[in-house]
A and B are shown apart, each in its own frame.
Chain A
Amino acid sequence: MQKTDVVIVGGGLVGLSIAYGLAMLGRQVSVLDEGDDALRAARGNFGLLWVQGKGYGMSPYAQWTRESVALWPRFAAALQADTGIDLHLRQPGGFQLCLSDKEMAEESRRLLWLREAMDGDYPFELLDAAQLRTRLPGLGPTVLGGCYSPMDGHVNPLKLLRSLYAACRMRGVTIINGQRVSAIGQRASGFELLTGQQRWFAGQVVLAAGLGNRELGAQLGMDVPVSPNRGQILVTERLKPFLHYPTTYVRQTDEGTVQLGDSHESTGFDDGTSSEVMSTIARRAVQCFPQLGNVRLVRAWGALRVMSADGFPIYEASQACPGAFVVSCHSGVTLAAIHALRLAPWIGGEFDEPAVAPFSLQRFSLKREVRHAG
């Protein structure tokens, strides 16, 4: 039996951000990570720190996202101070490129709603094709317009995961790989977890296991409505820098490769690729930047992202099992800073955090009740 203050189930970006935050508060933390055969949502991420359009229909999420990107420089600096790893954080703003009038109208509608919901404090610009072309050289003639927001940015997500591992270990976090948690139970003064032949005991347990949260949450009496959403990503050969802003379809990384993506499919637990979706992604990227048509693709892969029933994060402090927390979200990179610097202190009981209240599981049961009543 191994004892610790907090056990975090899941060693991805979400789990390690929280582990890092708790370690900075002096907590003794163990992270149980499943292993490289796990589904690993991080494989599907695009490295965006994305704000524009998020929280449509739920302004607290827009606010939370903005606060996270505001914390990002401090978070990246802390990681760099601890590990020496430069995450290549850049926050020059980002572009959503629109290839049809319908898309432009839809994006505008969402951004205008958000600006209204945020009392006017929500900077963005709607740009026509000519305006866009002055800012993004090489843009194709079929890009009809786009939205720019200075709130957006990007980071190297591989270096982020690596630096979180290094920083957590440096601060005394125990990260154990190859530990699939098979059972969790509440005991008199904490939680007992079983992984294969090993038993773990902790005063607090944080479920940050991505799609695994559904099954693990159920063991603690919580209904965690998350399901897989497949994204496919293509990556090109290394090119001299040509795209100095992140866009939702095309992003050039700090090391020269270009990521192409932004597909959304419901394929159950199949994390493979399909030629139909890959060709759609490639076609759209070439529409955005026609010269990409002459560029080699070096890899393509699929990954399963974590989607909650309404698309917004879940932060739950269990009422029935005090000390148990559920953290599920789609945007593990964007929210990494606030997960480390605000969510972890909330989990650690350092202070009350009213900003997390809208993200509790309660919203799903409330919705069901309303539906029944109607």
Chain B
Amino acid sequence: MPADSLFRALVPAQKNLQIEFEGASLSVPAGVSLASALLLSGITHTRESAVSGRPGAPYCMMGVCFECLVEVDGQANCQACLLPVRAGMRVRRQRGAREFLAGDHVEAGADE
């Protein structure tokens, strides 16, 4: 995939930490955004559009395009490019729109 070759860290990581993406454990550099951490791990499918279902991945990296939406520790629609990566984050793809009213049990663990 193109992102594998194009997205590289400028400097080697001083320290790594563990997060989870779709149930799989990833070792990522500390001190970067969650979006960077996912891209550095070669992950290029982080959400499915609420409008069309089209797969997407982090794009603008500055909080504008909303392509990097993920679910973090049960909290839907988090912008991964604006979140510093934290040890133990449980991250899932944002699939479509957030559940609301019906079955809206998403608050546990949301703290950012």
Contacts and interface: CB of A to CB of B under 8 A. Distances in A.
Interface of A: 137-138, 237-242, 255-256, 291, 294-296, 298
A137 B102 CA distance: 10
A238 B101 contact: no
A256 B51 contact: yes
> Top 8 nearest A-B pairs by Cβ distance?
A239-B100, A256-B97, A238-B50, A238-B97, A237-B77, A242-B101, A138-B101, A242-B100
B98 A238 contact: yes
Contact of A291 (B50, B66, B97, B101): B101
Given A255-B50, A256-B51, A240 B102 contact: yes
A137 B98 CA distance: 17
B22 interface: no
A242 B102 contact: yes
A10 B101 CA distance: 42
Nearest to A294: B107
Interface string B93-111: 0001111111010010000
Contacts of A294: 104, 107
B77 A291 contact: no
Contacts of A256: 50-51, 97
A177 to B, nearest CB: 23
Contact of B97 (A137, A138, A239, A298): A239
20 contacts: A237-B77, A238-B51, A238-B77, A239-B97, A239-B99, A240-B97, A240-B99, A240-B100, A240-B101, A241-B97, A242-B101, A242-B102, A255-B51, A256-B50, A291-B100, A291-B101, A291-B104, A294-B104, A295-B100, A296-B77
Nearest to B50: A238
A238 B77 CA distance: 8
Nearest to B78: A296
A240 B98 contact: yes
B64 to A, nearest CB: 10
Given A255-B51, A256-B51, A298 B100 contact: no
Nearest to A137: B101
B99 to A, nearest CB: 5
Contacts of A239: 97-100
Contacts of B98: 237-240, 295
Contact of A298 (B66, B99, B101, B107): B66
Nearest to B77: A237
A237 B50 CA distance: 10
Contacts of A295: 98, 100
Contacts of B51: 238, 255-256
Given A138-B101, A237-B76, 10 more contacts: A137-B101, A238-B51, A238-B98, A239-B100, A241-B97, A242-B100, A256-B51, A291-B101, A295-B100, A298-B66
Contacts of B50: 238, 255-256
Nearest to B103: A240
B96 to A, nearest CB: 8
A76 to B, nearest CB: 19
Nearest to B51: A255
Nearest to A296: B77
A85 to B, nearest CB: 14
Interface in B51-104: 51, 66, 76-77, 96-102, 104
A48 to B, nearest CB: 21
A313 to B, nearest CB: 34
A241 B51 CA distance: 12
A234 B98 CA distance: 18
A137 B76 CA distance: 21
Contacts of A238: 50-51, 77, 97-98
A138 B103 CA distance: 12
A20 B62 CA distance: 39
A294 B96 CA distance: 18
Contacts of B107: 294
Nearest to B63: A298
Contacts of B66: 298
Contacts of A138: 101
A117 B102 CA distance: 42
A197 to B, nearest CB: 36
A298 B77 CA distance: 10
A295 B77 CA distance: 10
A223 to B, nearest CB: 43
A139 to B, nearest CB: 11
A256 B107 CA distance: 20
